[in-house]
Each structure stands twice: as C-alpha cells, then as structure tokens.
Amino acid sequence: MAKKKRASPKKGKPGREAPPKSAAPKPRAPAAIARAPEPAAAPPEAPSAPPEAPAGLQGRLGAAERMLASGDLAGAERAWTELSLDAPGSSHAWHGLGLVALRRGDHPRAVELVNKAARLAPSDARLHANLGAVLRAAGRLGEAVSAYRRSLELRPRHPATLAALAATLTRGGQVALEGSKLPAAERAFRAALALEPEQPDALHGLGMVALKARKAKAAQQLLGRALLAARKRRAPPAALAVALAHYGQALRQLGEPAKAAAAYRESLKLAANDQVARWLTEVEGLKQDPRA
C-alpha cells in the first residue's frame, strides 16, 4: 500500500502580503526580583541565674549557661534537665532547655519550653522577649509580636526588644507583600517605622507597597530613603543590590529611564542578576527610542 505524501504548506507569493508594522515599544512595569533579605532577628537573651537564687543553684545555672555559650548543647541539656527535675517550678531550667531546642532547630519544642518558662514567671520581661524570638523562628509572627509587646509592657523602651519587634513587624509585612496583601503589608511596615523610623527593611517594604500600587513618586522617595539607611548601616552588598534594583524600578515607573539605568548598573556591580541586566537593556532602549 502506497504511503500518502504529506501536503507541503503552500508558499505565499512574494509581495502578496505586506509585513505588519512594528508598534512603538511600550515601557513595561518592572517585575519583582528576588525578595528583599529578611530582617535579621535579634538572638535570644542568654539565661542567667537570679541574684536571689541559692548559691548552689546559681553555680549549676551558671555552669549550664557556659556550656550553652560554648556550643556544648548536650552538656547544657543534661544540666538543665537535672535542674528541671530538682526544681520543676523554676522557670530557669525550662528556659534554658528551650534555648537548646532553638539552637538545634526544633522550633515547636523551643516554643513549648520557653512558653512554659514564661507562664512560671509571668513578670519576667526577658522570658517574654525570648518567647517572641522562638515564635518568630517558628514562623508564628503574630504571636511573636504579642510576646514582644508583653515584654515591653514589663520593660518599656528596651532597645533590643524594640528592634526585635520592629524586625518582626517588618517580616510580617514582607509576608503580606509576597501574598499581594497590600493594606496588611502597609500597616505592618508603618507599625515597624513607628518604633524605628529609619529601619531600612521597613522603608524598603513600604516603598515596594507604593511601587505595586503604582504610586511612583512615593515609591521613589521611600526606596531612596531605604537605600540611604541601608548604606548608613553598612548593609551587605547583596542587600544593597536588591535595594538599588528596586530603586531603579521606581525611577523607571516615574518615567526617568536614564536614572533607572544608573541604578541598575550600580546594582549589577554589587551582584550579578540576569533580570536586572534585562531591565538595563530595556531602559537603554527606551532612552534611545524617541517613540518610547
């Protein structure tokens, strides 16, 4: 049986159809690059023996603290476990065991133990601050905010706790921003800035909210402040590269391609990024094309 030959597509005669006219390129809204670095979490405060504790207990607590500080997690765990058996109503052993669990990355266990310590000593501001730290590590940001606020009620204006609360609010804003929940993100970033007015990550987040809402001028001002604050704090090059790229986005949205290109170039000097390189190529084209 003879095989059927496939019909070859008909070739159009030359000159039959005119090629479509190329439309003038329209500037596209820049997409987001890798998210801004997560704001650094303050480490939990080290446990310490209370001055009113008996001398023997102080010595045992001090030994366990030194083991934790030196990285001897097994030794610290043994010491605090023995203390928890000898004095189950004391918060210090449970607190120490919680910090061991945190160091090991067992966040649910860390939350359970530090929460138990805080319930045993509800007026200890340090325990509530450390509960905030372990809750944040576990990703329970709303509960972490509540724990930090409780700590500040007991120990007002404590610098490390204020900074930790601001960083946690900022992280909550970043999570909301990633989910395109702009009103929630804006509330979180503004709450962080009320505590720490020039917090770079919160300024950056608020600028990104404005950028997503296409409020170009506000985005440019906020992202410019974030960049300045990050430089003052000697942020790492990767963080500065992200800040510069997003600042370039705001400038591009504002209709200033030459300034956007300069920001992109500076970002690329700090960290290579294919997406930023494409943006640079695009804005260079916008600068040269009079129809753009």
Residues 169-193 pLDDT 10s: 999 999 999 999 999 999 999 999 9
Q: Tell me which fold the domain 56-135 belongs to.
A: 1.25.40
Answer yes or no: is pLDDT of 49 > 90.
no
Look at residue 14 in the predicted model and tell me its pLDDT.
45
d(CA 215, CA 204): 14
Look at residue 54 in the predicted model and tell me its pLDDT.
56
d(CA 190, CA 193): 5
Answer yes or no: is pLDDT of 59 > 90.
no
Question: Per the confidence metrics, is the pTM higher than 0.85?
Answer: no
Answer yes or no: is pLDDT of 245 > 90.
yes
Question: What are the tokens at 193?
Answer: 């800035």
**Exposure of 284 in the CB half-sphere (CA atoms within 13 A):** 9
pLDDT band at 45 (very low <50, low <70, confident <90, very high): confident
Asked if 141 and 122 touch (Cβ cutoff 8 Å), the reply is no
Average pLDDT value for the chain? 86
Look at residue 286 in the predicted model and tell me its pLDDT.
73
Look at residue 23 in the predicted model and tell me its pLDDT.
44
Amino acid at 181: K
pLDDT band at 25 (very low <50, low <70, confident <90, very high): very low
Lowest mean pLDDT among 84-98, 129-143, 195-209, 213-227: 84-98
Compute the average pLDDT of residues 246-266.
96
Helices 125-137 and 159-178: angle between axes, nearest 10 degrees = 20
